[in-house]
Structure 1
Amino acid sequence: MITIVLSDIHLGNGAGYDIFAGDAVLPPVLTAAARQRARVILNGDTFDFLMNEDPLELDAARATAQARAIVANPSTAAVMAGLGEVLAAGGEVVLRLGNHDAEVALAEVQAVLRGALQQPPEVAARLAFERGDNPSLLTVGGARILLAHGEHNDPWNRLDYKNLPSAGDGPKFRYPPGSRLVKTLLNPLKRGFGMRFADLLKPDFQGAVLTALAVDPTSMRLIFQGNTARLLWQLFRKSGEGMTFADGEEGEGNLGIADALDQAGLSADERAAMESAVDPEGAATFADEDVLDGARFKLARAGLKLYAAAQRALTGTTGDRYFDLRPDDGEWTEARRLADKFAADAVVLGHTHSARWKQEPGLAFVNTGTWIHLMRLPAASDDDATWLGFLDTIRRNPSLDAARGPAAPLVTRFTGLVIHEDPAGGALLQLVEWQAGAAPAVLASGAVAARSTAAR
């Protein structure tokens, strides 16, 4: 049995927030997996329960309704049917939780998902669910392969598994700060100001905020009203207090936005102009629009560079290999830590939306990437005129709607990990890219020896 590991698919309900881009690619991949009687492991954020207008509370009835809306979306329905094919053919499907689909822990939601497989109950019952409070350890050909979504090392998105129930309401469950920021900031930016690009700038929240400021500073003061305006204060000053979303809630700690703003290099006049623009009680006009425009450009370039650094988007005109697969030192250090702690020969993560590959004697590290749209940015070496033109395109068409004229280009790279058992012992890992109408492309591959012979 081969194993296919996919992460960060982000299937939504089709109601305007969706970022899933693999409609034409993922269902055929699953049909092919069914023919091979494969094991398919969905390693977190398969669904996105944050893309709606509902309050951010773990309510079983609300979560069930959200799940029904998600599986009713034709894009999601086709993927669920493909997973059903895998099970019907004798394969396996394992669905692990991520920080955008904590609701999948609920038995009520699991029943909706099983019903969407379009299979008899005895087949649908074989759909397996796994929480993410501990990693999964696969043994393939004697090699130990660790799987985790990856939010465990991200304090902004780490799930409160201690209070996450397996059925019913979760009154004590507290969504992580990143989820609340999606609801409080990113969703309103998309809904009220058409800033579709903001959601695509995840997982770098600071970059999304700086870019939104550059596109429309007044959007911030309209979104942050009342007590939530305290969050906005961190755009310019670190208060030392935790920022909160509602009276009585715990502080969120430092959002890191003030630090990001400092790195943008605004002059004193530019900072003052931008601070006035987002002040909930400030004026809507400015004495010197040139100063504000200069601030916007610096913020946009700083924000998009933060995103580019997170994604390693080094795009050229051809788009060939527009992502660098090499992990940074922090990613590799975390992979090494997990491997040592759990005696693993390979570590497989998701969460960051960035495909990664690195192998050294005794350890292979893979990030399986994502199935959403991503923005193609100017190169870091491009001149100011190029970046100004890019910013102007976003400001004129923040919804990225081609029908409205020129739009910032989007790119996709649908990647995942394919694991084969080596008849001679150990496992063969392949980081694969799928494209519509083309054979899968192997971006990187390597053999992992059986544990009894692996050199640690």
Structure 2
Amino acid sequence: MRTVVLSDLHLGNGQGYDIFAGAEALPAFLETLAHVPTRVVLNGDSVDFLMNDDPLGLEVARAVEQARALVAAPPTAAVLEALGRVLAAEGEVVIRLGNHDVELALAEVQAVFRCALRQPWRVARRLVFQRGDVPWVLEEGGTRVLLAHGEQHDPWNEVDHARLPGPGAPEGVVASGYRYSAGSLLVKQLLNPLKRRYGMRFLDLLMPDFQGALLAALAVNPAAVKLVFQRSSLHMGWHLLRRSVSALAFELEDSELELGLAQRVAGAGLTLEEQQALAELCGVGQVHFVEAEPALERAQQKLLRCALEFYARGHRCIAGDASERCFDLAPRRGEWDEACRLARTYRAGVVLLGHTHAARWRQDEGLLYANTGTWTWLMRLPAPEAPASVWADFLQELQRNPALVPEHQRLARLEQRFTAVVLGPHAQGGAEVSLVEWRPSGGLWALASTQVPPQQAGQCLAARG
């Protein structure tokens, strides 16, 4: 049986926050898998329980209500029904939890999704949910293949599995004791209000780099960020952010309160004049709608470039014809180091992750690392080396069109890249692994493919960067 691994679908509820881009493409892709028994693995953030206006807190009744809203949304319903047909064709479907869908750990929520498959109970009951607290290691042709969502090495988004209730949870764990990650807090209390009240849809496309998303919002509309921050329970973070841009010392007893925001602002390299211009706009008291003086404009441009650095490296595009795209599959050093660590710890020859929304591929030193990418919308950015004038134009466009209305897009255009990993035993031994892209107009394309040889019994890879 071949295995197809996807991640970061972020299926939504149709209530204004949706970023899933494969409403037609994903059911069509899954339909091609229903003709031959196939194992489909959704490797985290399959659905998104954070994209709503509900309070952030794990309650069973609220989670069930959110699940019903998700499965009722036509794009989500179509994907789930397609997964049901994969199961009906004697395939397998495994859904592993990520940091945006921890509610899937609850048995009551799982029941909602099984019903949404639109299959008889004997078929629907074969849908498997995995908590994701430890990596899942498969064996294909004698090769150990490790699957994990990838948030475990991200301290801002790490899931507290020890306090997460549901089947397989530690004894005595209850929903009221669960605590969401810092990233989830910022999504709910800061980014969602900015999207809802100020139309900043572009923030969703920068996930999971929530710190970069907030800095991008600060660049586009500092006054809006100030208002939303002060109305949230994270106002301490605002004070630190404000003081960091005004070059004042500020000590915190609890370092976790800073959420990494001050370091990101510092990384923008603002001059003292630019810091003062931004601090004046973001000062204590009434919001000042000052004229866009040169120092403030430069500060906003620098903040935007700093904020989008992670995204630009993750989804690098070639400027030019919109139909001509080039994506950099080479992982960053930190990604590769984490893949090597997992390979050593779990004696794996293949490591498959998600979470970053950036498809990746590297084979080196006895290890194949791949990231399955995302099925959300992607935003085209200026080239990282573009001159300041191009970034100034990009900033002005986001200020005029923060909701990314298509007819007003020129630089900040939306794109899509539907990627997955396909693996199975190779005829000559070991595993055959491919990073593929589903193109609605042309079917399945292999971006990279290789044979990973079988491992010797007891072999522990010494993969190095």
CA deviations 1:66-110 (Å, max 9, x no partner) are 000000000000000000000000000000000000000000000
Asked whether the 8 Å contact 1:313–1:322 carries over to 2, the reply is yes
The aligned runs of 1:274-313 (5 Å cut-off) are 274-286=278-290, 289-309=293-313, 311-313=314-316
Supply the distance in 2 between the matched residues of 1:263 and 1:272 (Cα, whole angstroms): 16
Letter of the aligned partner of 1:129 in structure 2?
A: F
* 1:213 alignment partner, one of 210, 218, 223: 218
Q: Hey, which bits of structure 1, 4+ residues long, moved more than 6 A? A: none
Supply the distance in 2 between the matched residues of 1:407 and 1:61 (Cα, whole angstroms): 43
The aligned runs of 1:15-54 (5 Å cut-off) are 15-54=15-54
Asked whether the 8 Å contact 2:223–2:287 carries over to 1, the reply is no
Higher mean C-alpha displacement, 260-269 vs 134-143: 260-269
- Unmatched 5+ residue regions in structure 1? 244-250
Letter of the aligned partner of 1:50 in structure 2?
A: L
Corresponding residue number in structure 1 for 2:196? 191
- Aligned CA distance change for structure 1 residues 415 and 264 (closer, same or farther; 3 Å): same
Supply the distance in 1 between the matched residues of 2:253 and 2:209 (Cα, whole angstroms): 20
Higher mean C-alpha displacement, 253-262 vs 36-45: 253-262
Corresponding residue number in structure 2 for 1:5? 5
Letter of the aligned partner of 1:192 in structure 2?
A: R
1:160 corresponds to 2:163: no
Asked whether the 8 Å contact 1:96–1:130 carries over to 2, the reply is yes
* 2:337 alignment partner, one of 311, 333, 336: 333
SS at match of 2:328: coil
Corresponding residue number in structure 2 for 1:452? 456
Supply the distance in 1 between the matched residues of 2:375 and 2:291 (Cα, whole angstroms): 45
CA deviations 1:90-137 (Å, max 9, x no partner) are 000000000000000000000000000010011000000101111101
* 2:419 alignment partner, one of 391, 415, 419: 415
Asked whether the 8 Å contact 2:48–2:101 carries over to 1, the reply is yes
Q: TM-score, normalised by structure 1?
A: 0.94
Corresponding residue number in structure 2 for 1:84? 84
CA deviations 1:310-360 (Å, max 9, x no partner) are x14243214645321111221111111111111111110000001110112
Asked whether the 8 Å contact 1:193–1:219 carries over to 2, the reply is yes
SS at match of 1:221: helix
In the alignment of these two chains, the number of paired residues is 448
Asked whether the 8 Å contact 2:223–2:289 carries over to 1, the reply is no
Q: TM-score, normalised by structure 2?
A: 0.92
Higher mean C-alpha displacement, 257-266 vs 413-422: 257-266
Asked whether the 8 Å contact 2:236–2:257 carries over to 1, the reply is no
Corresponding residue number in structure 2 for 1:133? 133
Supply the distance in 1 between the matched residues of 2:291 and 2:37 (Cα, whole angstroms): 67
User: Shift of the alpha carbon at 1:239?
Assistant: 3.3
SS at match of 2:345: helix
1:64 corresponds to 2:64: yes
Asked whether the 8 Å contact 1:394–1:407 carries over to 2, the reply is no
* 1:346 alignment partner, one of 318, 330, 350: 350
SS at match of 1:252: helix
SS at match of 1:230: helix
Asked whether the 8 Å contact 2:14–2:73 carries over to 1, the reply is yes
- Aligned CA distance change for structure 1 residues 339 and 14 (closer, same or farther; 3 Å): same
- Unmatched 5+ residue regions in structure 2? 168-172
Letter of the aligned partner of 1:452 in structure 2?
A: Q
Corresponding residue number in structure 1 for 2:250? 239
Supply the distance in 1 between the matched residues of 2:329 and 2:440 (Cα, whole angstroms): 22
Supply the distance in 2 between the matched residues of 1:291 and 1:22 (Cα, whole angstroms): 42
Asked whether the 8 Å contact 1:196–1:399 carries over to 2, the reply is yes
Supply the distance in 2 between the matched residues of 1:140 and 1:103 (Cα, whole angstroms): 31
User: Shift of the alpha carbon at 1:269?
Assistant: 2.4
Higher mean C-alpha displacement, 319-328 vs 114-123: 319-328
Supply the distance in 1 between the matched residues of 2:166 and 2:253 (Cα, whole angstroms): 31
SS at match of 1:86: helix
User: Shift of the alpha carbon at 1:301?
Assistant: 2.3
CA deviations 1:149-204 (Å, max 9, x no partner) are 00011111110101100069511100010001100111011001000001111122
Letter of the aligned partner of 2:6 in structure 1?
A: L
SS at match of 2:215: helix
CA deviations 1:388-412 (Å, max 9, x no partner) are 1111111100000125565720111
- Aligned CA distance change for structure 1 residues 395 and 100 (closer, same or farther; 3 Å): same
Supply the distance in 1 between the matched residues of 2:2 and 2:136 (Cα, whole angstroms): 17
Letter of the aligned partner of 2:192 in structure 1?
A: N
Asked whether the 8 Å contact 1:3–1:418 carries over to 2, the reply is yes
Asked whether the 8 Å contact 2:160–2:180 carries over to 1, the reply is yes
Corresponding residue number in structure 2 for 1:228? 234
Letter of the aligned partner of 1:433 in structure 2?
A: E
SS at match of 1:145: strand
Supply the distance in 1 between the matched residues of 2:439 and 2:80 (Cα, whole angstroms): 19
Asked whether the 8 Å contact 2:237–2:258 carries over to 1, the reply is no
User: Shift of the alpha carbon at 1:289?
Assistant: 2.9
Asked whether the 8 Å contact 1:34–1:86 carries over to 2, the reply is yes
Letter of the aligned partner of 2:5 in structure 1?
A: V
Supply the distance in 2 between the matched residues of 1:438 and 1:85 (Cα, whole angstroms): 23
Asked whether the 8 Å contact 1:229–1:280 carries over to 2, the reply is no
Corresponding residue number in structure 2 for 1:263? 267
Asked whether the 8 Å contact 1:58–1:169 carries over to 2, the reply is no
User: Shift of the alpha carbon at 1:303?
Assistant: 1.8
User: Shift of the alpha carbon at 1:257?
Assistant: 2.0
Corresponding residue number in structure 2 for 1:247? none
Corresponding residue number in structure 1 for 2:362? 358
Letter of the aligned partner of 2:107 in structure 1?
A: A
SS at match of 1:35: coil
Corresponding residue number in structure 2 for 1:203? 208
- Aligned CA distance change for structure 1 residues 438 and 252 (closer, same or farther; 3 Å): same
- Aligned CA distance change for structure 1 residues 276 and 74 (closer, same or farther; 3 Å): same
Supply the distance in 1 between the matched residues of 2:342 and 2:301 (Cα, whole angstroms): 41
